[in-house]
Amino acid sequence: MNAVASALKGGSHMAGVPHRGFFARHPESFTLVLIVAVSVIVGSINPNFFELSTVFDILRSSTVTGLFALGVLIVLAAGGIDVSFTAIAVLCMYAITKAVLGYWPEAPFIVIIVSGAIIGTLLGACNGYMVHRLKAPSLIVTIGTQYLLRGFLLTFVGTLFFMVIPQSMDNFGRIALFNYRSATGATAILPASVLVLALAAAVTWFLLNRTLMGRAIYAMGGSLAIAERLGYNVRVVHVFAFGYVGLLAGIGGIVHASTIRLASPFDLVGTELDVIAAVILGGARITGGTGTVSGTLLGVILVTLINNVMILAGVPSTWQKVVIGAFILLAGAVFATRGKK
């Protein structure tokens, strides 16, 4: 049987026809096909889409979502789910901004972003500890902490908008890697914040593919019982996975405020589903054990593309969620053959 299957597989490749399960085995390729299809459709309707400024806009809009998605990837791969990361991001962003403005306005940016990372990690690690200790579904735990953190923020920290942020954050938000002026005179800027996403992607890839913790994450997502029999410390993996998404959420919150030069306690609310959708469209299973950094980043680009540029094709903004939902269903149908195999 194996020999026949190998022969058929080899024959299909020699004939230049992809194997029937190609997209199921390489979900990133399916996501890339969707990106190309959307780009071609939008570009054929509005040729301005194919300008370099559009690429810069997509990369800039993908930065914070990408940071969140990389953290969610780790939790999903470990067999859990987290919906509290936006609450962690907003709490870190707003509380740190308020504290710096009140007590240390000239604080260096590295101190601010490290503070966000530390606080985010601690909050995320608490999620992981509770998931392990209570033996409760991670969705229930993180829904609870999401409401708890948002309630704490709005009740005790504050609800006022900060129209002025610390100078170091403002300076970071203004750093441009590239400036581009189109033929029409419009200026497009690629901010330095995309380097934060690139670094986070590299660290996440190394973690998943080159460390024992990465193996433990995939093993636990595949089967918790088997992971325990293999000797993995489930508590450590839980705390690490949720701590990691908290770390990236804390960093993402600071980057978000620096980019838009505004700190609002109501920002980022409701973006959780877009982030989770991006990770799933990138090929990660909601049941755990799978997922890649490259697929996640492609999923983020696809969701950002739909949310930001479909208006160029004359598609009403109310249809954006419809398109994303349709793509998730389509991806689910295509990726389902992995489970059957």
One-letter-per-residue 3-state SS of 235-270: HHHHHHHHHHHHHHHHHHHHHHHHHHCCECCCCCCC
12 within a domain of the structure (yes/no): no
Taking alpha carbons only, the member of 214, 259, 326, 290 closest to residue 65 is: 259
In DSSP notation, 22-36 reads HHHH-HHHHHHHHHH
How many helices, marked H, and strands, marked E, lie in the chain?
A: 15, 2
**Span 124-135, average pLDDT:** 96
pLDDT digits (tens, 9 = 90+) for 42-78: 888 888 888 888 889 899 999 999 999 999 999 999 9
DSSP 285: -
As a whole number of angstroms, the distance between CA 31 and CA 301 comes to 9
CATH number at residue 158: 1.10.3470
pLDDT at 6 over 50: no
123 within a domain of the structure (yes/no): yes
CA within 13 Å, CB half, 33: 12
Listed range (177-186, 198-207, 298-307, 323-332) with the worst mean pLDDT: 177-186
pLDDT digits (tens, 9 = 90+) for 267-321: 998 899 999 999 999 999 888 999 999 999 999 999 999 888 777 777 777 787 7
10 within a domain of the structure (yes/no): no
pTM of the model: 0.90
Contact 307, 38 (CB under 8 A): no
**What is the residue range of 52's domain?**
22-340
Beta bridge partners of 190: 178
Contact 263, 93 (CB under 8 A): yes
Number of domains in the chain: 1
- With a CB cutoff of 8 Å and minimum separation 6, the contacts of 199 are none
pLDDT of residue 5: 41
62 within a domain of the structure (yes/no): yes
CA atoms 6, 12, 13, 17: torsion sign:
negative
Q: Tell me which residue has tokens 């992809």.
A: 18
Specify the amino acid at residue 183: A
pLDDT of residue 105: 94
User: What torsion do the CA atoms of 237, 242, 244, 246 make, to the nearest 10 degrees?
Assistant: -160
pLDDT of residue 336: 64
Taking alpha carbons only, the member of 238, 242, 222 closest to residue 230 is: 222
14 within a domain of the structure (yes/no): no
32 within a domain of the structure (yes/no): yes
Taking alpha carbons only, the member of 137, 127, 111 closest to residue 244 is: 127
Taking alpha carbons only, the member of 68, 108, 60 closest to residue 251 is: 68
Contact 253, 89 (CB under 8 A): yes
Taking alpha carbons only, the member of 321, 339, 214 closest to residue 277 is: 321
Please provide the average confidence, as pLDDT, over all residues in the chain: 88
In DSSP notation, 151-211 reads HHIIIII----BSS--HHHHHHHH-EEEEEE-TTS-EEEEETHHHHHHHHHHHHHHHHHHS
308 within a domain of the structure (yes/no): yes
As a whole number of angstroms, the distance between CA 71 and CA 264 comes to 22
pLDDT digits (tens, 9 = 90+) for 142-188: 999 999 999 999 999 989 999 999 999 999 999 999 887 776 666 78
pLDDT class of 338 with cuts at 50, 70, 90: low
91 within a domain of the structure (yes/no): yes
SS3 71: helix
Angle at 32 between CA 198 and CA 53, to 5 degrees: 60
Contact 172, 258 (CB under 8 A): yes
